[in-house]
Each structure stands twice: as structure tokens, then as C-alpha cells.
């Protein structure tokens, strides 16, 4: 029997752990005794979802990809929380910070990268250490430290207007902090977007309450004992309480340098992911292949497959030839897909472009010789799967270019999925195509979770998860297994859910996107909306509701957990709240007629208070002047129908932005728009559609 070789992996992140998975999938457990060094004292987790950890919409447990038990079950020795200090190539062993010595026959370096922090003045405190209030954004520990430090702080600055910076700023807003994004370039996400798309994205971010500062060269971090602001080359300082650097990454190459391996920007490798030492390989963000360093998950996972083929001797001809850069993701809730060249570079290049800035939509194709070489989809990424497939395969495009960007004629239904070619890419991170997903279902898998676990599709950025769930539901023809867990809400709401059912989209949305207080974005949304829909449900599941209208500012935000709105004498609206004594649970939906189908739903406990009681409650609150001195109280409009008789005070239990096609069809006449639907099938179908955010 052939002796097992020792395989040591330095790095337990998304590249290193994925490489081990690929090796095991090819029978590697019979070939190797595997040991892993990981800096962090835990298993492998999804770094792409760190912003959801920071904003509180996911737990640390939910982003874990490989828990400690997985390593033990696969016979892997995990040195968790142990940093590798030195590679001794002649002795063929790795030394750990705790004295661990791991001998190797084959070594994989997957040390990843770290946040790039430019050499600014003021990074160090008086004691010579790092100044309190300065953070990177790269690990679970970073999330914990930022969240802890942010408590009670008012303003944060995020340096870097790329994907990571915007996600971080969005998460900080969810913590109740005013977020400022500082970016050196002329527009946001300049590596993935052109100038018009960047301008639209900036407008969308500003509507969410984010402050964006472009073409700003930061020169210093201010403050003696802790961060107090930023200084810029072109003028006025920005006061802030904390600074997060999201301005790029630096490959971790120090171990390779110390052991004498060739290093340029990254650790230099060939098409088999070998370094200059044939027994030492490298994968992921620490790697440089043909002068290119990749900072995305998809290239790392492509490299992992090639390396696994060679180490297990399954395919000696497997080769890595670089990666086509394509991303499909959500930026602060905004759908985005970007791939290849975002601007034409040759005279023969054809550009197809569509922009609707007021709706936050931008679409662009760059075509050369009838083939797609680049694309941008912002705000509406419904056609991303087909474009990614065309970009990846290099197939010739149809002459009718509009069909690439828009659904022509009747909108496709699930039945149209049988027309999707097997080679269509579903998950760009894992390189999973339609055929692989259908193969899993044909083998007996009956849930999206099982398909995702088997293929690893949807386990990275998560943007393909809705498409995967739709494919599974369609392919299983109604026999798909569904998650079961308690939804938020009152007993009455639960009765309604039992009666009318819920959707996979609704379940996933409730599970991941419910906030238990009003974040700054939601508070701003309430302040600017005009329309209000109030509903209550008794314990038998009978709904009482009314469509309410009020001018902007009709509903007042007292704090992140309390809102109030006035009741006017003589307008008869109190009948809708007649069952509050029996069940005080209410649901309020704020409708945005300017942005199609978007609403904010707030669940809470309501009670009626007189005006003088409200005054006593608000006596020491900063919101008092805005509530009691506003036009809603002092100068009722004609629509208000009279003077204030009493107030409804709502204690917020949970809140979420959603698409509310399930409410009755309504129309705001002066704007000639409709909202909702009377289609029973739609009410029991995909409630949230493409408008979830």
C-alpha cells in the first residue's frame, strides 16, 4: 500500500479550505495526511458576508462554511489560531507560533491578503501603537471590534469607495452611525463601473443616507488619544469618531519571501500553481500569475480545482490560464453585475447602452466581433446569468441586442427555465452551471440547501441564491423541501400565514433581512414617504386594515424603536384600530410611489395616547420639537381632516424593506401609478419579486 504523504496548508480561508475540499473530493484522504494552519481560532467562514455580520442581519454561525467538526470528520489536523512563522524548505517542515512543527511532502501557501492601510500621518497613538478608532475590515474579529467601538459614536469615515467600502458603510449605517465614504477616484467602484454607472450608484447611496466624497486625497488621521477626524489635501477636515480602511488589499507574501521563493506583487506561480520549488504550491489572493493578482473568490476556486487535479494525479494536463473577471453581487442592497472590459478599447467595438437614472437602472454591453467582451448591469440584473454565460463561453450574440438586456414580450415564468442551456453559468464564484444544478436534483436532492451544500454554489457572495431556489422549485415540480422556522409576527399573522401560505422567497427574506429596530435608512424612508397602510390581526387571524394617507412627515420617528402618528377628530379612521385592546400588534406599510413597488413594513405593539401624555413622554427627547411643533400638529392640512385628537404610539418589534404585491391594488391618481395587485395568483406567488432590498 502506498504511503500517505504529508500535505500542509498554510491558510484556512476561502482559498485554502476550498483547495482541501477539492482534494478530498478526488480521493485525497487516501493519499494525504492533511494539516492546516489557520490564524483565526475557528473554522472556515465566508468573508464576503462580513458586512451582514457587522450590520447584524446574519450571525457568525450562519456564515461558517466548514465548522471544526468537519475537519475532524475528514481526518484533518486543524491548528486553529496558530500562525505559521517559518517555512524550512530544506527540512520540509512548517513552524507554528505555538511551537508546532508540521512536516510536509507537499505544501500549499494560501495566506490571502490583508487590508491596505496607506502611510498617513496620525495612524499611531501616543504610546506608539495603533490609534484607537482605526480599523481594517477583513475578519470576524474586525467586525466584533468595529461594532464594539461604534457603540455611542456618531460618525464614521470609510476610506475606499469600492465594493468593500460601500458594504462597510451600509453596515455602519445599520448600527445607527452617520457614514461617510472617502474615495480617491472620480466615481464609485471605478474598477467595475464606468462613469455614468458610478454616478447612478452614488445617487442611490446618497438616497440611502450615505455621504460620498469623491476625488479626496486623505493626508492624516486626526486626534491625539483617539480618532477625531480626517485631513485632506484639498481642504476642510472631516470630523469623525472612527475610520475603516477599505482601500484595497496587500497579498501576504512574507513567509514566501523569508524562505526564498520568487515574489513580485504576489507569490509567483505557473499554470499548475507551483512556485519555484516543485513541492510548494500557492493559491488565492497571495498568488501572482502572469503579472496578475486576483482579489476575488472565483479565481481562487478555479485555482483550487486545477491544483487538486495535479496533487491527486487525476489530470496531469489541468492548467490554470488566468480568470475572466466577472462579478454578480449586491452593493448595499443594489443589484450589480460587472464583467470584462467596461469601456471600448478598439474602433470596431460596439456599445449597447441603456440608462434610467431616476430609477437607478443602468445597462451596458461592450461587443467585439459579435461576442461579448464586457458588460455592466446596475439596479436590474435579471439578465445577468445569460450575459455571464455568453461572456464566459465567447458565443456569438443574437443580432437583436435588446434581447440581451430586456425581457421581450411577456415576462418569462418558471416554465421558461426548460429553455436555459445546461452550460449557462448559475454561480460565477463556484463556476457552477445549470447542468450541474439539474444533475444534483436528478440524483435525489430536493432542497436548495442540499444543492448549495453539494455544489458550493451560493456559498460565496450569495447573489445567485434566489436563482438557485427558483431552479430547484421548478425542477422539483412542487416537491422541493422547504425550510421550516417561526416567522415573526402575532398569533393572528401566523394564522393568516397558515391559511394563505408563504413562499420560499418570503422565508429567506424573513430569515435574513429583518431588523429589530429602525436603522438610519429606514428612519429616512419614513420621514419622506406620504402613504401609510395600517393593518391589525385578531387572534383568529381576521385582518382589520385601512389605507391611510398623510403628507410627508405624517408619521414621526421618535427613536430607533418608537414611532407615532396622529389621529384627527372626525375623520373616522379609529375604526381600523378597534381591536387594539384584544391584540395590540399592528403592521404599518409605507409606500414609495416614486420607486416602483418598494415599501417599508414595520411590525410593533400599538397603544393610544392623548396629546398631553405624548408631551410628557417626549419631554426629554431630542425629537420633541419635530413631533410637537410640526405641521401635522399645529397646521393640519385639508387632507388631515381636523385637529389632532390623540396619537398612536408604536413600539417597533421588527422592520424590513420589501415588495408588497400582496396588498390590494391601489392607485395614486395624480401620479398615474398603481401599486399592488388584485391577481390572486400573484398574491400567493413570489411576494417579493426582484424588488427586495
What is the rounded CA–CA span in Å between residue 569 and residue 548? Answer: 15
Residue of higher predicted confidence among 655 and 106: 106
Average pLDDT over residues 435-450: 84
- Domain architecture of the chain: domains with CATH: 5-114+250-311 (3.50.50.60), 134-247 (3.50.50.60), 409-481 (1.10.10.1100), 492-683 (2.30.110.10)
Give Cα 72 distance to the centre of its chain.
Answer: 31
Q: Is the pLDDT of residue 404 over 90?
A: no
3-state SS class at 262: coil
Q: Which neighbouring-strand residues pair with 222?
A: 229
**Band of the pLDDT at 542, cuts 50, 70, 90?**
low
pLDDT (tens digit per residue) in 75-95 = 999 999 999 999 999 999 999
What backbone phi and psi angles, to 5 degrees, belong to 197?
-65, -40
In 26-154, which residue ranges form alpha helices assigned H by DSSP? 50-55, 68-73, 140-150
pLDDT (tens digit per residue) in 236-263 = 999 999 999 999 999 999 999 999 999 9
3-state SS class at 88: strand
Residue of higher predicted confidence among 654 and 499: 654
Residue of higher predicted confidence among 402 and 114: 114
Most confident of 259-273, 460-474, 535-549, 611-625: 259-273
Q: Please report the pLDDT score of residue 9 as a whole number.
A: 98
What is the rounded CA–CA span in Å between residue 552 and residue 594? Answer: 13
**Band of the pLDDT at 657, cuts 50, 70, 90?**
low
Q: Is the pLDDT of residue 502 over 50?
A: no
C-alpha count within 13 angstroms, C-beta hemisphere, residue 345: 5
Q: Is the pLDDT of residue 491 over 90?
A: no
**Cβ-based neighbours of 79, under 8 Å, separated by 6 or more:** 35, 36, 37, 38, 96, 98, 100, 102
Q: Please report the pLDDT score of residue 309 as a whole number.
A: 96
**Band of the pLDDT at 1, cuts 50, 70, 90?**
low
Q: Please report the pLDDT score of residue 480 as a whole number.
A: 56
Average pLDDT over residues 403-421: 60
**Band of the pLDDT at 691, cuts 50, 70, 90?**
very low
3-state SS class at 79: strand
| Residue in 478, 477, 453, 480 with CA at minimum distance from that of residue 465 | 453
What is the rounded CA–CA span in Å between residue 40 and residue 532? Answer: 48
Q: Please report the pLDDT score of residue 344 as a whole number.
A: 94
Average pLDDT over residues 261-283: 97
| Residue in 541, 526, 514 with CA at minimum distance from that of residue 653 | 514
Q: Please report the pLDDT score of residue 209 as a whole number.
A: 86
Q: Please report the pLDDT score of residue 608 as a whole number.
A: 81
How many other CB atoms are found less than 10 A from the CB of residue 217?
11
Pairing mode, if any, of strands 93-96 and 531-537? unpaired
Residue of higher predicted confidence among 386 and 38: 38
Written as nine digits, the cell of 373 is 467582451
Q: Please report the pLDDT score of residue 679 as a whole number.
A: 43
Residue of higher predicted confidence among 336 and 580: 336
| Residue in 608, 605, 575, 574 with CA at minimum distance from that of residue 588 | 605
Q: Please report the pLDDT score of residue 563 as a whole number.
A: 86
Residue of higher predicted confidence among 160 and 594: 160
Residue by residue, DSSP assigns 606-644 as: EEEE-HHHHHHHTTT-TTHHHHHSSHHHHS--TTT-S-E
Q: Please report the pLDDT score of residue 500 as a whole number.
A: 39
Q: Please report the pLDDT score of residue 548 as a whole number.
A: 58
Residue of higher predicted confidence among 558 and 286: 286
How many other CB atoms are found less than 10 A from the CB of residue 432?
23
**Band of the pLDDT at 343, cuts 50, 70, 90?**
very high
| Residue in 175, 141, 129, 139 with CA at minimum distance from that of residue 156 | 175
3-state SS class at 574: helix
Q: Please report the pLDDT score of residue 332 as a whole number.
A: 72
**Cβ-based neighbours of 139, under 8 Å, separated by 6 or more:** 40, 47, 50
Q: Is the pLDDT of residue 365 over 50?
A: yes
C-beta separation of 196 from 204 below 8 A? no
Q: Is the pLDDT of residue 336 over 60?
A: yes
Q: Please report the pLDDT score of residue 227 as a whole number.
A: 95
Give Cα 130 distance to the centre of its chain.
Answer: 29
C-alpha count within 13 angstroms, C-beta hemisphere, residue 369: 3
Residue of higher predicted confidence among 660 and 429: 429
**Band of the pLDDT at 380, cuts 50, 70, 90?**
confident
Give Cα 238 distance to the centre of its chain.
Answer: 28
Average pLDDT over residues 679-688: 36
Residue by residue, DSSP assigns 651-691 as: EEEEEEEEE-TTSPPEEEGGGTEEES---HHHHTS-SSTT-
Q: Please report the pLDDT score of residue 556 as a whole number.
A: 82
Average pLDDT over residues 455-471: 75
Written as nine digits, the cell of 254 is 512574507
What is the rounded CA–CA span in Å between residue 193 and residue 198? Answer: 6
Q: Please report the pLDDT score of residue 647 as a whole number.
A: 81
What is the rounded CA–CA span in Å between residue 38 and residue 81? Answer: 6
Percent of the chain residues past pLDDT 70, beyond the cut: 74
Most confident of 85-99, 457-471, 592-606: 85-99
Residue of higher predicted confidence among 385 and 683: 385
Query: Strands, E, within 27-73: which ranges?
Result: 32-38, 44-45, 64-66
- pLDDT, the chain, mean: 79
Written as nine digits, the cell of 644 is 389632532
Q: Is the pLDDT of residue 572 over 80?
A: no
Amino acid at each position: 500500500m502506498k504511503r500517505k504523504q504529508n500535505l500542509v496548508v498554510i491558510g484556512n480561508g476561502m482559498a485554502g479550505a476550498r483547495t482541501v475540499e477539492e482534494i478530498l473530493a478526488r480521493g485525497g484522504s487516501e493519499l494525504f495526511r492533511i494539516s492546516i494552519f489557520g490564524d483565526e481560532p475557528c473554522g472556515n467562514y465566508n468573508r464576503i458576508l462580513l458586512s451582514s455580520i457587522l450590520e447584524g442581519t446574519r450571525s457568525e454561525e450562519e456564515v461558517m462554511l466548514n465548522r471544526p467538526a468537519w475537519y475532524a470528520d475528514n481526518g484533518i489536523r486543524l491548528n486553529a489560531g496558530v500562525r505559521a512563522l517559518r517555512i524550512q524548505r530544506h527540512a520540509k517542515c512548517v513552524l507554528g507560533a505555538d511551537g508546532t512543527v508540521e512536516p510536509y511532502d507537499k505544501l500549499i501557501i494560501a495566506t490571502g491578503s490583508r487590508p491596505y492601510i496607506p502611510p498617513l500621518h496620525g495612524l499611531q497613538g501616543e504610546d506608539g501603537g495603533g490609534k484607537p478608532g482605526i480599523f481594517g475590515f477583513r475578519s470576524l474579529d474586525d467586525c466584533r471590534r468595529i461594532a464594539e467601538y461604534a457603540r455611542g459614536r456618531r460618525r464614521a469615515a470609510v476610506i475606499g469607495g469600492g465594493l468593500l467600502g460601500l458594504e462597510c458603510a451600509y453596515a455602519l449605517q445599520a448600527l445607527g452611525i452617520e457614514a461617510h465614504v472617502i474615495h480617491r477616484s472620480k466615481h464609485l467602484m471605478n474598477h467595475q463601473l464606468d462613469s455614468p454607472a458610478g454616478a447612478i450608484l452614488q445617487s442611490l447611496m446618497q438616497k440611502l443616507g450615505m455621504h460620498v466624497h469623491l476625488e479626496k486625497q486623505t493626508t492624516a488621521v486626526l486626534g491625539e488619544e483617539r480618532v477625531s477626524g480626517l485631513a485632506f489635501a484639498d481642504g476642510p477636515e472631516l470630523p469623525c469618531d472612527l475610520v475603516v480602511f477599505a482601500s484595497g488589499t496587500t497579498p501576504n507574501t512574507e513567509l514566501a519571501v523569508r524562505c526564498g521563493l520568487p515574489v513580485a506583487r504576489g507569490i509567483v506561480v505557473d499554470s499548475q500553481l507551483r512556485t519555484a520549488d516543485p513541492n510548494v504550491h500557492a493559491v488565492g489572493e497571495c498568488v501572482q500569475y502572469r503579472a496578475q493578482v486576483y482579489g476575488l473568490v472565483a479565481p481562487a476556486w478555479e485555482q483550487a480545482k486545477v491544483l487538486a487535479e495535479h496533487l491527486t494525479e487525476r489530470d496531469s494536463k489541468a492548467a490554470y490560464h488566468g480568470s475572466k473577471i466577472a462579478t454578480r453581487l449586491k452593493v448595499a442592497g443594489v443589484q450589480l453585475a460587472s464583467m470584462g472590459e467596461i469601456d471600448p478599447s478598439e474602433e470596431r467595438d460596439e456599445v449597447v447602452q441603456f440608462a434610467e437614472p431616476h430609477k437607478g437602472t443602468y445597462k451596458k454591453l461592450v461587443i467585439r466581433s459579435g461576442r461579448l467582451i464586457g458588460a455592466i448591469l446596475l439596479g436590474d440584473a435579471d439578465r445577468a446569468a445569460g450575459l455571464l454565460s455568453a461572456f464566459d463561453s465567447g458565443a456569438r450574440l443574437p443580432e437583436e441586442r435588446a434581447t440581451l438586456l430586456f425581457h421581450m414580450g411577456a415576462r418569462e415564468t418558471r416554465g421558461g427555465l426548460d429553455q436555459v442551456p445546461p452550460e449557462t453559468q448559475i454561480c460565477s464564484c463556484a463556476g457552477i452551471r445549470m447542468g450541474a444544478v439539474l444533475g444534483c436534483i436528478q440524483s435525489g436532492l430536493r432542497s436548495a440547501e442540499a444543492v448549495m451544500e453539494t455544489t458550493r454554489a451560493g456559498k460565496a457572495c450569495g447573489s445567485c441564491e434566489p436563482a438557485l431556489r427558483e431552479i430547484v422549485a421548478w425542477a422539483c415540480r412542487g416537491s422541493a423541501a422547504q425550510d421550516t422556522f417561526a416567522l415573526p409576527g402575532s398569533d393572528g399573522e401566523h394564522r393568516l400565514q397558515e391559511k394563505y401560505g408563504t413562499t420560499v422567497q418570503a422565508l429567506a427574506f424573513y430569515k435574513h433581512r429583518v431588523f429589530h429596530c429602525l436603522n438610519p435608512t429606514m428612519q429616512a424612508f419614513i420621514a419622506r414617504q406620504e402613504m401609510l397602510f395600517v393593518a391589525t390581526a385578531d387572534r383568529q387571524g381576521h385582518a382589520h386594515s385601512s389605507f391611510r394617507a398623510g403628507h410627508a412627515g405624517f408619521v414621526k420617528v421618535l427613536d430607533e424603536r418608537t414611532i407615532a402618528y396622529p389621529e384627527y377628530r372626525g375623520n373616522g379612521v379609529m375604526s381600523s384600530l378597534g381591536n387594539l385592546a384584544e391584540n395590540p400588534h399592528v403592521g404599518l406599510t409605507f409606500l414609495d410611489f416614486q420607486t416602483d413597488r418598494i415599501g417599508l413594513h414595520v411590525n410593533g405593539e400599538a397603544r393610544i395616547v392623548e396629546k398631553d401624555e405624548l408631551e410628557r413622554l417626549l419631554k426629554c427627547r431630542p425629537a420633541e420639537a419635530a413631533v410637537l411643533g410640526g405641521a401635522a400638529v399645529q397646521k393640519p392640512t385639508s387632507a388631515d381632516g381636523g385637529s389632532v385628537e390623540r396619537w398612536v404610539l408604536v413600539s417597533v418589534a421588527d422592520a424590513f424593506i420589501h415588495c408588497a404585491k400582496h396588498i390590494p391594488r391601489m392607485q395614486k391618481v395624480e401620479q398615474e401609478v398603481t401599486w399592488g395587485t388584485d391577481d390572486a395568483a400573484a398574491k400567493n406567488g413570489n411576494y417579493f419579486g426582484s424588488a427586495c432590498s
